[in-house]
Structure 1
Amino acid sequence: MTTSVPIRDAATVIVVRDPEENPSVLMGQRGKSAVFLPGKVVFPGGRVDQGDARIAIGGQLDDRCRARLSGTDLPRPETLVAAAIRELWEETGQILGQPGMWADAPTDWQSFAATGHRPDAAGLTYVFRAITPPGRPRRFDARFFTVNADRLAGDPDDFSHATDELSHLRWIPLSHARQADLPFITQVALAEVAGRLPDLSPPPRVPFFHGHMEDIAIADAHRD
């Protein structure tokens, strides 16, 4: 009997540097022994943690993004945004936030709070959604966000506070990104973003990929 794998909510961040002149994206490599996508080059991201639902998010998420992220079967938009910001911090040491003291941060957020910042959604744009196909050891319902590297609070080349979840963190020129060992869905998301650069505003539609890799399905999650 095949045991069904639960689908977990997740968030991914595509940070774009210099989108108008020479765009590059922040990526890292998963460990060779990782259960999910071993050795692949990916954007920072991961599953939504329970504590993310209790995080107060500063800044204004675009109304179109908020509407597209809302639904009775989905986490609150703020929860997904919190997960995106936390995962970016944990995996790269990069901060999307504004200066502010935070004495009551949940355990998963204490290292972020220690930098003297509070999470901020300004500049994040919801652009893509994908569900891991059946048959994988782990499955995620991932929402992809873009953000301009100008929104990062610190030095975009400083990865000294990153955990060891991703190695070889680097800014990859968009023109070279597809030469890396990317998962299929990462290639698709990258193509969606690249096709609209330098525009990082909410797209007219949010593609939603689901199904088997050999028979991938696409549907517009939302249209204006």
Structure 2
Amino acid sequence: MTAPAVEILPAGRIRLVETVLPELSGRHRAAMDRVWEEAVHANPALFDGPVAAVTGLARDGADGLVLSWARTTYRHRALRQVPDAPVYGSLYVSVLQPADDGRLLVGRMAPSTAAPGRWQLPGGTVEPPEDGAELDLGALRAHAARELAEEIGSDTQADALTPWLTARGGHGNVGVMFTAPPLPARELYDRYAQLVRAETAVGSQPEFTRVELIGSPADLERLEGPHAGLLPLLVRRYTGT
């Protein structure tokens, strides 16, 4: 029996445990470096920054999870294109930001990002904390709030975000989803416009080149360009469509 492409899990109680990635063989490391260099040549904006890789995920009772993670960099994603290489998923956060009419905000990724032109929820890959700091649900919530501020100009505080669900999908990627308090649709568009003006004034490009509000998977399909594979499922679950 084929396993489902996406596994939906609880998110109310998450315990994160730091582990260490096994050493790569010389052959796999050389192949990884070659694929990464080719990717950077195609998109010079790619940055080999720190990320948290998922090394394990298990249930902890009816509503809890134990998520094992390790410190690595974006370069390790190139292993997904290397035959027989060990592959570790990425840990990321996403935020469902509703308008007061129930629609959800989605954004189209800029050309300089790892997924140019793709529509997705606000959010991003989780970076490991500095040595000595703990990665826990509170840290994930704070990271989600920063992504909201950086991508759509939101001033929603971390403690206003509510854990909604966790999803494990392709390549073993694990996303922790939060919901934000509803805001008027006009305010959401205005805040994003203010962010764009501030970014362009200093010569920067916003991570989203456009934002829209959608109320159903059909609205999503009408948007020009690809979208994150998990997005239709999340829209259906949130809107009850």
Q: Secondary structure at the match of 1:83?
A: helix
Task: Tell me which residue corresponds to 1:42.
Answer: 120
Please state which structure has a larger fraction of its residues in helix. 2
1:121 is matched with which residue? 159
CA distance in 1, matches of 2:85, 2:93: 25
Please tell me the residue identity of whatever aligns with 1:188. Answer: L
Q: 1:179 deviation in Å? A: 2.7
CA contact (8 A) 2:215 2:239 kept: no
Q: How does 1:27-176 map to 2 (within 5 A)?
A: 27-32=106-111, 34-36=113-115, 38-51=116-129, 75-97=135-157, 120-122=158-160, 124-134=161-171, 140-150=173-183, 155-157=187-189, 158-159=191-192, 160-161=194-195, 164-174=206-216, 176=219
Identity %: 21
Runs (4+) of structure 1 moved beyond 4 Å?
A: 51-55
Distance 1:54 1:34, change over 3 A: same
Unaligned runs of 5+ in 1: 56-73, 98-119, 197-224
CA–CA distance in 1 between the matches of 2:148 and 2:131? 17
Change (3 A) 1:193 1:173: closer
- 2:222 is equivalent to residue 187 of structure 1: no
- Is the radius of gyration larger for structure 1 or structure 2? 2
Change (3 A) 1:179 1:33: same
Residues 24-71 of structure 1: CA deviation (Å, up to 9, x unaligned): 2111111356434x322111100122349999xxxxxxxxxxxxxxxx
Contact residue 52 and residue 82 of structure 1 kept, 8 A = no
Corresponding letter in the other structure for 2:156: L
Query: Is the CA contact 1:53–1:78 (under 8 Å) kept in the aligned structure 2?
Result: no
Q: Structure 2: any 5+ residue segments left out of the alignment?
A: 1-82, 197-204
TM-score for both structures, normalised by structure 2: 0.51
Alpha-carbon distance in 1 for matches of 2:156, 2:188:
11
Compare relative contact order (CA 8 Å, sep 6+) and give the higher one, 1 or 2. 1
